Amino acid sequence: MLDLINFYLIPGLVVGAIYTLGAIGISLIFSILRVAHLAHGDLMAIGAYFALSWVHLLGGPAYLALPAAMALTALVAIGVDRTCYRPLRRRRTVMVIIASFGVALMLRAALMLIWGPDTQVYQSGIQRPMVVAGLRLQEKHLFILGAAIVLVVLLHLFLTRTITGKAMRAVSDDPDLARVCGVRTERVILAMWITAGSLCAAAGVFLGVDTQLSPLMGFNMLLPMFAAAILGGIGKPYGAIVGGMVIGLAEELSTYPLFGEPLIEPTYKSAIAFTIMVLMLLWRPTGLFRGKVL
């Protein structure tokens, strides 16, 4: 039982928190721009590598680099939107999806050019976990879960207490109505990229802290993050939290050796998110929280 908690449940929660932060951004972009943002994974990797540069230049643990990485990634997201997505705004949204597919490869190519193709870590060496009543608690896991909760609370306050946040929700619910009510759509889109870009940078840094950094880390996150966003319901940031946790836990628990052998071969672990996503789209395309269907 303790093994189940220590080696499957806690890592599942950590991975789920990382998926959540990425899925919130995907869900926001989906509901405001009405496109599936395929470059989200690679944007996340860029954020993780910004933090790596900070650690290389200034030293210290990776979480001190978090604010800078989030800010820089938000800037990259705004730059990408200005140059690649905004010129296509009046065209069919599917053109923006194709563009974001291209942006994904450009970001990854730039990443490999700047930081190299090899896997890297923020800090080498193994951290000894604290053992409290049989529970193995690793410092990095506590940091990731704690920081993720703080970020989600901040997002909640932003969306419910600020004018910009309310405008974002208004555009997401009904863009035309929001516009005739005087909501400036381009400002909302700017706020959306800042939110989505910084949250996905945080997800990237957390993933790097939890495991390691590699140029493909973002792409490998793309499917689970989309699965989480769709599971929670597009345009429902709180749904993304549930979606992220369900996907993360399902992935980790699926390899639990319940009957002596892993339920699913670990090599096929990445198929879980996809299966859940397809089943959800067939059974209830609005997601658990009654989001929208595009």
Partner 1 sequence: MEATGLLLYGVAVLTMGGIYAILALGLNVQWGFTGLFNLGVAGFFAVGAYGSAIVTSPAAEGRLGGFDMPVAVGLVAGGAIAAAIAWPIGRLTLRLKADYLAIGTIGIAEILRLVLKNEQQVTGGAMGLSGVPRPFEDLARPYDELAFMALVAALVLAIYWALERARRAPWGRVLRAIRDNEGSAEAAGKDAMAFKLEAFVLGGAIMGIAGAVYAHYVKFIGPEAFEPLMSTFIVWVMLVAGGSGNNRGAILGAVLIWALWSATEVATSQLPVEWTTRAAYIRVFLIGLALQIILQRAPHGLLAETPPPPPRAPEVKDGAGAEDGVRGRPPA
Q: List contacts with partner 1 (CB under 8 A).
A: 30, 35-36, 38, 83-84, 87-88, 91, 93-95, 97-99, 101-106, 108-110, 112-113, 117, 219, 222-223, 226, 230, 265, 267-268, 270-271, 274, 277-278, 281-282, 285, 293-294
List alpha helices for the chain, DSSP H.
Answer: 2-3, 10-32, 40-58, 66-80, 93-115, 139-161, 163-173, 175-180, 185-210, 217-232, 237-253, 270-283
d(CA 51, CA 36): 26
For residue 87, the minimal CB distance to partner 1 (Å) is 5
In the bound state with partner 1, the residue whose beta carbon lies nearer, of 83 and 162, is 83
In the bound state with partner 1, the residue whose beta carbon lies nearer, of 144 and 252, is 252
For residue 28, the minimal CB distance to partner 1 (Å) is 14
d(CA 97, CA 99): 5
For residue 171, the minimal CB distance to partner 1 (Å) is 18
For residue 223, the minimal CB distance to partner 1 (Å) is 5
In the bound state with partner 1, the residue whose beta carbon lies nearer, of 100 and 138, is 100
In the bound state with partner 1, the residue whose beta carbon lies nearer, of 48 and 209, is 48
Using CA atoms, how far residue 87 sits from 83, 95, 105, 146, 197, in Å, is 7, 10, 19, 39, 19
Q: Which residues of 145-155 are buried (b: 16+ CB within 10 A; e: fewer)?
A: bebbeebbeeb
Q: Phi and psi of 263, rounded to 5°?
A: -60, -40
d(CA 242, CA 95): 30
For residue 83, the minimal CB distance to partner 1 (Å) is 7
In the bound state with partner 1, the residue whose beta carbon lies nearer, of 68 and 78, is 78
How does DSSP classify residue 5?
A: I
In the bound state with partner 1, the residue whose beta carbon lies nearer, of 92 and 161, is 92
For residue 76, the minimal CB distance to partner 1 (Å) is 14
d(CA 216, CA 107): 11
d(CA 248, CA 224): 8
Contact 7, 239 (CB under 8 A): no
In the bound state with partner 1, the residue whose beta carbon lies nearer, of 92 and 128, is 92
Nearest to 31 by CA among 219, 232, 205: 232
In the bound state with partner 1, the residue whose beta carbon lies nearer, of 26 and 242, is 26
For residue 105, the minimal CB distance to partner 1 (Å) is 5
For residue 89, the minimal CB distance to partner 1 (Å) is 11
Q: Which residue's structure tokens are 């997800």?
A: 203
